[in-house]
Structure 1
Amino acid sequence: MVLRNKCSWTVAVAILSIMSESALCQNRSIALNVKNSHYFTYEGKPTVLITSGEHYGAVLNLDFDYITYLNELKSKRLNLTRTFTGAYVEPAGAFSISNNTLAPVSGRFICPWKRSSIPGYNGGGNKFDLSKWDDAYFARLTDFVAQAQKRGIIIELAFFCPFYDESQWKISPMNAVNNINAIGSMASKFVYTLDKGADLLSVQKDLVQKIVHELKDYKNLIYEICNEPYFGGVSLEWQYHIADIIRETEKDFKNPHLISQNIANNTQKIKDPHAAVSVFNFHYATPPVAVAENYNLNKVIGDNETGFKGNADETYRMQGWLFIMAGGALYNNLDYSFTIEKEDGTYQYPATQPGGGSVTLREQLSYLKHFIDDLDFVNMHPDVSFITEKFSKDAQVQALAEPGNQYGVYIYGEKKVDLELDLPAGSYKIEWTNTITGLKDKAKILKHAGGQVNLMVPNYNKDIALSVKRI
């Protein structure tokens, strides 16, 4: 192409831009957004992942009806679920969880490895053969992924999980007492290391490669290396080794999948991140300091497990709003209302349950999803500098902004406040959202000469949200 003048150059740039966008849209898998990599793209659209999901046993527990479960998520417009592969399973009563989906009853646990003909598995039934795959498991896994994909739901698939105490290691298929291969004769704290867990490394590599190949063509997947690797002796070198295996296995795939790494409870400054990791997850990340501390990575920051702060819906609703409005792009409330026979999420759990979850909470999180989707969030970043009023300890604020064009504000606390903003001159649409009911106040038009403007905040209970958009 010969460019003879400025006009020709402009046309050429436009053509190349269109071609680039067209190529991008052909990759409709979950991916980092090319315009703002703090967020996702899915089906060619900017995406934030928000959910309140079951306790990770949807595939490995044969008694769990995942169709009913996925239908409930879809009905609330939630678009994420997290699940474990079966390399880790829990005994009944673990962590004082009532009706734990990660704790199948005897004979109802299924995992990637095939059962042998030799009895003696500590969880009930025959031992496992780590050299053979269970076709029934992979049929169930792929159907689960396919059914989720049909419903627009992303799956974060965690390959491994540490053993918090000997009760989990006692029933792991990787423990030598539970397999016929004489593999896994070590203390649980050495299972996920490169040196002292060496005889399991090839088993773990084979497992990762098998699953990655089986799920090659699904677009709704994020691979998580290991749940909570900061417990149980999981080494960072081992985590990076698993990331390398995933990336090497997918090197010739047309659309390789995102890899996520679970970093810490609450927060931690990430140093020297692995190049293949695109999603950095935290647990119990409130306040959402983890987002601010790691925003410079230009990758997705997620909060993919909540709990241990009681059962109240408002606790986990507010955590979700705080995290997303701080610039996070993934929020998963661990929802204990999903159980066997109550896959619609209506189980009435006891007060001793280590977290919350309910139909009401899922509906409230759908209001958060709608609020963020209604913003052009890929053009926004965390920013409270336009809020000029000093808030008391009784009322605090989190906000996203595209200065001069759009603002999203989340106010939480008991005290009613007036909100003072510094906005450029222009006309703006002002709209308040009730985070409990999802109802919106009638939108108002603000014709502003520029500078400070005081907005009266409607009466609210606990929290409220505001959008300000230039028109």
Structure 2
Amino acid sequence: MVVNSDFLLVGKSNMLIRLCLFGLAVLGLSCDSLLGAGFPRGPLRVHGKNARYFSHASGKAIILSGSHTWANFQERGVEGHTPEFDYEAYLDFMEAHEHNFMRLWRWEHAQWMQFVPQDTLIRYKPMAYMRTGPGEALDGKPRFDLTQFNQAYFDRLRERVVSARQRGIYVGVMLFQGFSIEQKGTQGVDPKKGNPWDGHPFNRRNNVNGIDGDLNGNGEGEETHMLWNPPVLKFQDAYVRKVVDTLNNLDNVLYEVSNESHGDSTQWQYHMIELVQAYEKGKPWQHPVGMSFQWGRNKGTNRNLFESPADWVCPNGDEFLNNPPANNGGKIVIVDNDHIKPLESDPIWVWRNFFRGNHFILMDCYKDFRIESPEHVDRKHDPARRAMGHAIKLAAQVNLMAMQPRNELASTQYCLANVGQEYLVYQPEEDADGVSVNLKAGQYAVRWIDPLDLTVVKQEAVDAKDGFQEFTRPSKRSAILHLNRR
């Protein structure tokens, strides 16, 4: 048997993993025993026949959905007070809700947060660079050496992705963070609030390399997410390549350039997308790269996303929660309430997007320090959490690859259809009448499904003629109608 040493965890754990792999080889087992044998082989890609969805080696259409939270990679919270993030418990939580995707949050800065007073010391760790000095940074700790990566940071990154893989969870690895370079929602720096730029390695007072990310001297680093500063860009490019080197041979990886960088970051984000794509061309695997909505003192536009070279995008706009536009297949659309109504949830958002050809993910408070690090999660978000798991399961029960959003075929305007073969129709209104569907003539197996738990509440068969056919739902609750030609 050949053991693929590419799956080794990097850093201090190498020797232990090598011994484990040797033992597996002696026992005649594969690395799948270590990394999760049930997980599909090969990374996701845009589906070649239906670009609304992802696919892998199986050729099936795949939707991504799940909860993500701010501390799932780096620790963040009040120094000396906030407990360490229990990542395994978080994975248990995701697995219990049958989720298959998380955004893995990256913070570029070491201290301070704009949502709390300046004298509240919010720490983020580990950081990507070594703190060697000489000299102290603004947070009183040694300055960063931008030429020396902190290997413990990258070990942790890989370990977290591998652990998610063992649970069947895909990971959107965030490369940069818009909330690390500026105070958002303020006009200039508010001295009463924490300024993340004061804790950033590219702040000239925080590194030993003479790097200054604040070219205009306004006390913030918005220029670091632009193409104005070649010395900064050199270090950023090196960081991206290091991340790709760390994760390339893991098949549950996607990349996201940045969380809510400002509206002037467009060309910089395009550069980063193309950098990942070009760098991975020379490597065994290529992974999807995404771009999220831009926000700051100047917002971006959804047009910036859809015109980007990204494989998937996270847009902004209330319409993506209330009445999502049907996805025309130009990009994979992952709707994240973080960019629209953060800290809120509604299971109907999941289903509205599912039936318009989109994916939905939830910005989940989970046990964040800003809600006092509770022992138990807030159950008010459970309906949305459950709906995401149900949407994943329903997608696997139908031939999603062949289906498109066809609003005009159903009275409810929520319809996925492979015309003449298979239809899924959503009735979100609890007190509305039945559903009418424009069918091709033929015999169809009919199932009424309860979206609250995916139980089939009624089954029958119908002989349909061309045109609209009326279906009476078995109760006044919201419902999903599945029609499959016999």
Could you tell me the TM-score, scaled by structure 1's length?
0.79
Q: What SS class does the counterpart of residue 177 from structure 1 fall into? A: coil
Task: Write the deviation string for residues 33-63 of structure 1: whole angstroms up to 9, x where unpaired.
Answer: 22222211135242110112212x3121172
CA distance 1:95–1:234, shift in 2 (3 Å): farther
Write the distance in 2 (CA, Å) between the matches of 1:130 and 1:409.
54
Are residue 326 (structure 1) and residue 356 (structure 2) matched?
A: yes
**What's the % identity of the aligned pairs?**
20
Are residue 77 (structure 1) and residue 98 (structure 2) matched?
A: yes
AA aligned opposite 1:46: A
Residue in 2 that maps onto 1:286 = 319
Residue in 2 that maps onto 1:236 = 266
Q: What SS class does the counterpart of residue 346 from structure 1 fall into? A: coil
Residue in 2 that maps onto 1:214 = 246
Post-superposition offset of 1:400: 0.8
Write the distance in 2 (CA, Å) between the matches of 1:47 and 1:251.
23
Post-superposition offset of 1:201: 0.9
Q: 1:401 aligns with which of 406, 412, 417?
A: 417
Post-superposition offset of 1:215: 1.0
Q: What SS class does the counterpart of residue 61 from structure 2 fall into? A: strand
Are residue 179 (structure 1) and residue 207 (structure 2) matched?
A: yes
Post-superposition offset of 1:377: 0.8
Are residue 58 (structure 1) and residue 49 (structure 2) matched?
A: no
Post-superposition offset of 1:308: 6.3
CA distance 1:421–1:221, shift in 2 (3 Å): same
Residue in 1 that maps onto 2:256 = 224
Q: 1:205 aligns with which of 237, 251, 254?
A: 237
Is the 1:285–1:303 Cα contact (8 Å) retained in structure 2? Answer: no
Are residue 384 (structure 1) and residue 407 (structure 2) matched?
A: yes
Write the distance in 2 (CA, Å) between the matches of 1:338 and 1:406.
41
Write the distance in 1 (CA, Å) between the matches of 2:393 and 2:94.
14
Q: What SS class does the counterpart of residue 301 from structure 1 fall into? A: strand
More divergent stretch after superposition (264-273 vs 44-53)? 264-273
Are residue 262 (structure 1) and residue 292 (structure 2) matched?
A: yes
Post-superposition offset of 1:327: 0.8
More divergent stretch after superposition (246-255 vs 358-367)? 358-367
Is the 2:52–2:329 Cα contact (8 Å) retained in structure 1? Answer: no
Write the distance in 1 (CA, Å) between the matches of 2:314 and 2:131.
33
Is the 1:281–1:301 Cα contact (8 Å) retained in structure 2? Answer: yes
Give the number of equivalent residue pairs: 416
Write the distance in 1 (CA, Å) between the matches of 2:454 and 2:372.
26
CA distance 1:336–1:357, shift in 2 (3 Å): farther
Is the 2:213–2:221 Cα contact (8 Å) retained in structure 1? Answer: no
Post-superposition offset of 1:326: 0.4
AA aligned opposite 1:70: L
Structure 1 residues without counterparts, runs of 5 or longer? 1-24, 97-102, 349-355, 390-395
Residue in 1 that maps onto 2:175 = 159
Are residue 273 (structure 1) and residue 288 (structure 2) matched?
A: no
* 1:366-445 mapped onto 2 (5 Å cutoff): 366-387=389-410, 389=411, 396-445=412-461
CA distance 1:294–1:439, shift in 2 (3 Å): closer
Write the distance in 2 (CA, Å) between the matches of 1:285 and 1:258.
26
Is the 1:291–1:301 Cα contact (8 Å) retained in structure 2? Answer: no
CA distance 1:115–1:361, shift in 2 (3 Å): same
Post-superposition offset of 1:339: 3.3
Are residue 193 (structure 1) and residue 190 (structure 2) matched?
A: no
Post-superposition offset of 1:343: 9.2
CA distance 1:234–1:312, shift in 2 (3 Å): closer
Residue in 1 that maps onto 2:485 = 470
Write the distance in 2 (CA, Å) between the matches of 1:51 and 1:189.
30
Could you tell me the TM-score, scaled by structure 2's length?
0.76
Are residue 36 (structure 1) and residue 50 (structure 2) matched?
A: yes
Task: Write the deviation string for residues 240-295 of structure 1: whole angstroms up to 9, x where unpaired.
Answer: 221222122212112211111124589734588344x2112214553369974762
Post-superposition offset of 1:131: 1.2
Write the distance in 2 (CA, Å) between the matches of 1:26 and 1:400.
25
Q: 1:347 aligns with which of 377, 380, 398?
A: 377
Residue in 2 that maps onto 1:365 = 388
AA aligned opposite 1:466: L
CA distance 1:397–1:264, shift in 2 (3 Å): farther
Write the distance in 2 (CA, Å) between the matches of 1:408 and 1:32.
22
Residue in 1 that maps onto 2:278 = 248
Is the 2:326–2:357 Cα contact (8 Å) retained in structure 1? Answer: no
Q: What SS class does the counterpart of residue 469 from structure 2 fall into? A: strand
Is the 2:97–2:386 Cα contact (8 Å) retained in structure 1? Answer: yes
CA distance 1:375–1:306, shift in 2 (3 Å): farther
Post-superposition offset of 1:164: 4.5
Write the distance in 2 (CA, Å) between the matches of 1:217 and 1:39.
22
Is the 1:176–1:183 Cα contact (8 Å) retained in structure 2? Answer: yes
Post-superposition offset of 1:89: 6.4
CA distance 1:90–1:470, shift in 2 (3 Å): farther
AA aligned opposite 1:268: N
Are residue 49 (structure 1) and residue 78 (structure 2) matched?
A: no
CA distance 1:293–1:177, shift in 2 (3 Å): farther
Post-superposition offset of 1:133: 0.8
Q: 1:169 aligns with which of 197, 217, 221?
A: 197
Is the 1:364–1:436 Cα contact (8 Å) retained in structure 2? Answer: yes
Q: What SS class does the counterpart of residue 213 from structure 1 fall into? A: helix
Q: What SS class does the counterpart of residue 442 from structure 1 fall into? A: strand
Task: Write the deviation string for residues 287-329 of structure 1: whole angstroms up to 9, x where unpaired.
Answer: 36997476252x311113437648665x2x111111121011x
AA aligned opposite 2:172: E
